[in-house]
């Protein structure tokens, strides 16, 4: 199942820089791991914001929930999820 996920990150402004850097490094490592597994298929940054739009390819809404809620930055994210389905006019066989 494909899902579009928009993530807006809101770290507290007064958070210690070292703690924020550690959290971001752990988030990056996990995101790259999920991309390598093919679950986090696409990742795009929103210009000028600490936000992204991603495409996830997972077995179920529950799997997506489990992945998102385990992300290191999850407690600081506003997340919007949109389920996706193949468009009949798409010229791609697998939409990858």
Beta bridge partners, 82, equal 4
Q: What is the pLDDT of residue 87?
A: 83
Q: What is the pLDDT of residue 96?
A: 58
Task: Show pLDDT as tens, one digit a residue, over the chain (96 residues).
Answer: 999 999 999 999 999 999 999 999 999 999 999 999 999 999 999 999 999 999 999 999 999 999 999 999 999 999 999 999 888 888 887 765
Q: What is the pLDDT of residue 91?
A: 86
Q: What is the CATH number of the domain that holds 65?
A: 3.30.70.1060
Q: Residue by residue, what is the 3-state secondary structure of 26-72?
A: HHHHHHHHHHHCCCEEEEEECCCCCEEEEEEECCCHHHHHHHHHCCC
Q: What is the pLDDT of residue 93?
A: 75
Q: What is the pLDDT of residue 86?
A: 83
Residue 57 lies inside a defined structural domain of this protein: yes
Per the listing, tokens 């390819």 go with: 57
Number of domains comprising the chain: 1
Which of 54, 52, 61 has its CA nearest to residue 83?
Answer: 61
Tell me the three state secondary structure of residue 16: coil
Q: Where in the sequence is the domain holding 78, given as residue range(s)?
A: 1-13+40-86
C-alpha span between 21 and 5 (Å, rounded): 23
DSSP run (H or E) holding 21: helix 17-36
Residue 30 lies inside a defined structural domain of this protein: no
Residue 26 lies inside a defined structural domain of this protein: no
Residue 19 lies inside a defined structural domain of this protein: no
């Amino acid at each position: 199942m494909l899902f579009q996920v928009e993530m807006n990150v809101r770290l507290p402004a007064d958070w210690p820089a070292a703690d924020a850097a550690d959290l971001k490094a752990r988030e990056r490592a996990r995101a790259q791991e999920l991309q390598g597994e093919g679950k986090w298929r696409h990742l795009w940054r929103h210009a000028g914001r600490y936000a992204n739009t991603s495409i996830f390819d997972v077995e179920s809404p529950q799997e997506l929930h489990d992945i998102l809620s385990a992300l290191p930055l999850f407690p600081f994210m506003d997340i919007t999820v949109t389920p996706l389905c193949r468009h009949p006019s798409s010229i791609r066989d697998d939409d990858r």
